[in-house]
Amino acid sequence: MDVHVLVPSQQCEELTGIDRSATTTFDRPGRSLRSFFNFFISFLRSVWTLRPDVVHLHSSFAGVLGRVALLFLRPFRRPRVIYTPHAWSFIMDVSEKKKRIYSYLEKILLPLCDVVTCGSKYEKNEAEKYGIISPKIGVIYNGVLDPLVVDSLPLRSSRMELLFVGRLDQQKGFDILISAMRTLDPSLYRLTVVGGGVHDDSDHKLEDLPNVEYVGWVKQNQLPKYFAASDVLVMPSRWESFGLVAAEAHSCGLPVIASRCCSIPEIVQDGVTGFLFEKDSSSDLVDKLGLFSRETALAMRSACLLRYESLFTAKSMCERVAQTYKFSFVWK
């Protein structure tokens, strides 16, 4: 199978294992009309030149523009179209009016693709709630590469080592975690934050908290070191289409304490591979942390690894995606 990718030039370096000759880039300086135009033209040019059998569109941004662009090429190029939204726009924390508009747009564009793959059962169910129902919509869980074998960072003390990985914004619920940290005994709990803010108002000044340490963003291949040095990953998200970092943690045998929302319960088995707390409740998060111990983490390790190996390996995901490409020809 020959694969060619079209990605923003700003993210090209994140690709691994892809020959640069099979990569086309476009300039995307944020979500702007200029970015949309650059993608639209690059996509048209790529499809015209490469004559692909299958086009796989990722995210609502590429999903809308890509399907519209293909209408212009339809008399001459008719590839099978796979669409993976990576979180429908209408499951975000937006007004009900916007949700109706986004869902209506997805309904209109649905006939322009052969298969739609959702990242979770939750995402598929949400589409059905908004009337987006079709046998061409299925579920493929995101896969995680086998973690690299690396030397772990040393456990720094006898305190419970908590880990947060992600953006410091409302969606990821970072404020909920910080509220919990302010009530937890600093001599018993310590938090390491891997990530950073994306908006000026999303950063939290935590330098005054003795039990919180920021390390900023790290390279993907460095994450296993932090997983190995932690007792539990805390994931207080308000909404997720999947929750990849939970699967990444499980791939390293790390339990997860996460909010009971969206697709997260499809990854974290309450009481087996971690604990679930009520969304938006820092007090319930504190209660669940009270149930956790280093002994609990060690006891859950094998269940976490089994969960990863049975559902969330990259190999399993790639096999299902390849099957989907073949199915798109049958469907058409």
pLDDT tens-place string over residues 312-324 = 999 999 999 999 9
Query: Do the domain assignments include residue 155?
Result: no
- Tokens of residue 39, six digits: 């993608």
Instruction: Tell me what pLDDT residue 204 has.
Output: 47
Specify the pTM.
Answer: 0.86
If you search the block for the tokens 């001459």, which residue do you land on?
A: 76
State the pLDDT confidence band at 201, using cuts at 50, 70 and 90: very low
Query: Do the domain assignments include residue 154?
Result: no
Query: Do the domain assignments include residue 139?
Result: yes
- Tokens of residue 252, six digits: 């390293």
Query: Do the domain assignments include residue 148?
Result: no
CB proximity list for 86: less than 8 A, separation 6 or greater: 58, 59, 60, 119, 241, 242
Report the CATH number that the domain containing residue 187 is assigned in CATH: 3.40.50.2000
Q: Are residues 225 and 270 in the same domain?
A: yes
Instruction: Tell me what pLDDT residue 151 has.
Output: 56
Query: Do the domain assignments include residue 288?
Result: yes
Q: Are residues 205 and 306 in the same domain?
A: yes
Which of 209, 179, 176 minimizes the C-alpha distance to 192?
209
Question: What is the domain range of residue 46?
Answer: 5-143+315-331
Percent of the chain whose predicted confidence (pLDDT) is above 70? 93
How many independent structural domains does the chain possess?
2
Q: Are residues 120 and 164 in the same domain?
A: no
**CA separation for the pair 195, 59 (Å, rounded):** 22
State the pLDDT confidence band at 202, using cuts at 50, 70 and 90: very low
Amino acid at 287: D
Quick check: 60 pLDDT over 70?
Answer: yes
Query: For residue range 144-196, what is the model confidence (pLDDT) as tens digits?
Result: 988 765 555 565 578 999 999 999 988 899 999 999 999 999 999 999 999 98
